[in-house]
Amino acid sequence: MAVPAAVAAIRAVRWGWVPASDQATIATRAAEVLTGRTPRLGQLSGASAEVGLPTRSPGPMGYWPFAVTARWGPLWSSAVAAAVVSGAAMVAAVRLAARRGGPALALAVGLGLVLSARAINPSNLASTWNPALGVMPLVLLVLLAWSIGVGETALLPVAVAVASFCAQAHTALAAAAVPVLAIGAAFGLVPLLLRRTGPEAEDPSAEGRSTDDRRSAVRHLALAVVVGALCWALPLAEQVTGDPGNLTRLRRAGTGDPFPWRGAGRAVADVIGGVPAFLGGDVAPADHAQGILLRPAPAATVVIAVVVVAALVALAGLGLLRRRRDEAVPPLLVLVLLVAAGAVARSTPATSFLVLTYVLWWAVPVGMLAWVVVGRGIVVASGWGPALARPLEGRVGSVVAGLVCAAMVAVGLLAPGQPEPEEPIHAEAGAVGDAIVDRIDPGRLYLVAGQGATGSQLVASTAYRIRRAGALPVVPGNDGVAAGPRHEPQGRRCAAVVILASGDDGLPAGASVVTDLRLPARDGSSAPVVVAMAPDDGAPSC
């Protein structure tokens, strides 16, 4: 199961991955986690423009996996850490699937996850970018909630930690993680806490066991509350001290020109209808997102999507009528995720194709789970399970399992290695950083300024390399806001100004050229970039 994540990590190392653009800002903030200035919130959100104030993802947990690698490891080690997060989530999800439905369900979920990773671009498994980092943990959360919903309340503290990680990584993931956790906790805890004991109990002989189960559930709930308090202490502290707090700012978002309902419905239909997105393979996010808005869904896609949703509703209703949590909880979890995907797509600004892509990333494996849950539900409700499992016992079962596992490995190894968005500039970002760090004095301030569109692409990665060298980068404009208040200009004197210019014209007097290079673009063209350092003359720049 970890093969796709391992392959993604190996490819990232071979590409010469270094943090660039948003991932460089993530690395800069992650490097401060184990310091007295640990971030209390996550990445700067696109909702900032709508709200009119800097607004961030709900919390800082998306930085925690990189707290060590961003400061001391090789530059590519954060990509490996991201792959470990994704791979561990995939493996844990398959193990939980085996507990819920045996080898057949485990193999189905495992193969579905591998196909889903292929569909959303396998390189995302090794991406530190916050909307990609939480995708596989969200799938794990679904399996955790499923397990809790059928009585494994010991997993509740783990589920709270995973749900907090997803919710804090990106706001779109929060809309999915919170209801999933709520459904699992409600179905797992309420029956235990309300179970009757004493003479009026339906089964007095089980009174002692019921009391023990209730006590265990209370302990698990108490531990989950402690875990949740630890995960949310920093965001809540910011909410109390902020004016207004970040959570308040997030609530103000989503009030602008929304995505049309037709497009939101198309987003849901594409992940479960027709040829579901997880089977499509190598989905191009930007093109797909624009297609959702600009083109109507094929009739077959709509019909199949409606049938799948109707099947989920019927299975959930049947499970509730039969008072079978193991039958009701899985379809309810998938239904609430599909509703969340549509709701987030609907609240996305009509022109924000990139933001819609974030929703599609986690909606693709949700579509896979929808098909798996429908298939399992039909087998369970019909009573065909034992008859279908019998031929898979013994050697035949081992052969089938081996073939499915081989297919997983093959898909993981042969999936197209589409590069991540910043891949074309990794080598150049690394070269600029290498040239700059030799001129950096630890403990001092350095202004990093981009001139022109080309030079500005390297600002975040250069600022990260300066931070990693032990100095404090100061960045004007949106890049400084994204990195945090201490990285914004505050009228301090800089040791020097690092200039990333789209040419050597317009360099200030006294500037010395450190290096020059050409920055490639995805279309095969390139543009010149000159890296220079100048004294901080005149008014203090930092």
Boundaries of every domain in the chain: 18-75+135-253, 424-534
Q: Which residue has the higher pLDDT, 523 or 237?
A: 237
Q: Which residue has the higher pLDDT, 536 or 185?
A: 185
Among 67-71, 268-272, 350-354, 538-542, whose mean pLDDT is lowest?
350-354
Q: Which residue has the higher pLDDT, 125 or 209?
A: 125
Per-residue pLDDT at 69 exceeds 80: yes
User: Residue 246: its pLDDT value, please?
Assistant: 86
Per-residue pLDDT at 201 exceeds 50: no
Per-residue pLDDT at 284 exceeds 50: no
Per-residue pLDDT at 107 exceeds 70: yes
- The pair of structure tokens assigned to 529 is 């970039």
- CA 361 to chain centroid: 8
User: Residue 338: its pLDDT value, please?
Assistant: 92
Q: Is the dihedral of CA 484, 123, 341, 143 positive or negative?
A: negative
Backbone dihedral region of 493: left (phi > 0), alpha (psi from -120 to 50 degrees) or beta? beta
User: Residue 394: its pLDDT value, please?
Assistant: 58
Stated pTM of the model = 0.89
Mean pLDDT, to the nearest integer, of 33-60? 84
Per-residue pLDDT at 285 exceeds 80: no
pLDDT band at residue 6, thresholds of 50, 70 and 90?
Answer: confident
Mean pLDDT, to the nearest integer, of 175-187? 94
Half-sphere exposure of 469 (CA within 13 A, CB side): 22
User: Residue 328: its pLDDT value, please?
Assistant: 93
Q: Which of 304, 397, 294 is nearest to 351 (CA)?
A: 294
Q: What is the mean pLDDT of the chain?
A: 82
Per-residue pLDDT at 335 exceeds 50: yes
Alpha carbon distance 17, 73 (integer Å):
13
User: Residue 21: its pLDDT value, please?
Assistant: 83
- pLDDT 10s digits, 211-249: 667 888 889 999 999 999 999 999 999 999 988 888 888
pLDDT band at residue 420, thresholds of 50, 70 and 90?
Answer: low
Alpha carbon distance 239, 396 (integer Å):
58
Mean pLDDT, to the nearest integer, of 382-407? 60
Mean pLDDT, to the nearest integer, of 317-339? 93
Q: Which of 534, 540, 512, 516 is nearest to 526 (CA)?
A: 516
What strand order describes the sheet that includes 526-534? Answer: 472-474, 445-451, 496-501, 526-534, 512-520
Among 30-39, 91-100, 263-272, whose mean pLDDT is lowest?
263-272
- pLDDT 10s digits, 144-166: 999 999 989 999 999 999 999 99
- The pair of structure tokens assigned to 200 is 């009026």
Among 16-25, 126-135, 284-293, 395-404, whose mean pLDDT is lowest?
284-293
Q: Which residue has the tokens 């993530």?
A: 26
Q: Which of 53, 5, 61 is nearest to 33 (CA)?
A: 61
User: Residue 216: its pLDDT value, please?
Assistant: 86
User: Residue 404: its pLDDT value, please?
Assistant: 61
The residues that bridge with 231 in the sheet, in sequence order, are none
**Local structure of 528: helix, strand or coil:** strand
Q: Which residue has the higher pLDDT, 86 or 215?
A: 86
Q: Are 20 and 425 in contact (CB under 8 A)?
A: yes
Q: Is the peptide bond before 103 cis (omega within 30 degrees of 0)?
A: no
Half-sphere exposure of 161 (CA within 13 A, CB side): 12
User: Residue 198: its pLDDT value, please?
Assistant: 45
Instruction: List helix spans (H) across 393-541.
Output: 394-414, 426-437, 452-456, 459-468, 478-483
Alpha carbon distance 89, 231 (integer Å):
18
pLDDT band at residue 294, thresholds of 50, 70 and 90?
Answer: low
Mean pLDDT, to the nearest integer, of 474-500? 84
User: Residue 204: its pLDDT value, please?
Assistant: 44
Among 43-52, 60-69, 143-152, 329-338, whose mean pLDDT is lowest?
43-52
DSSP state of 154: G
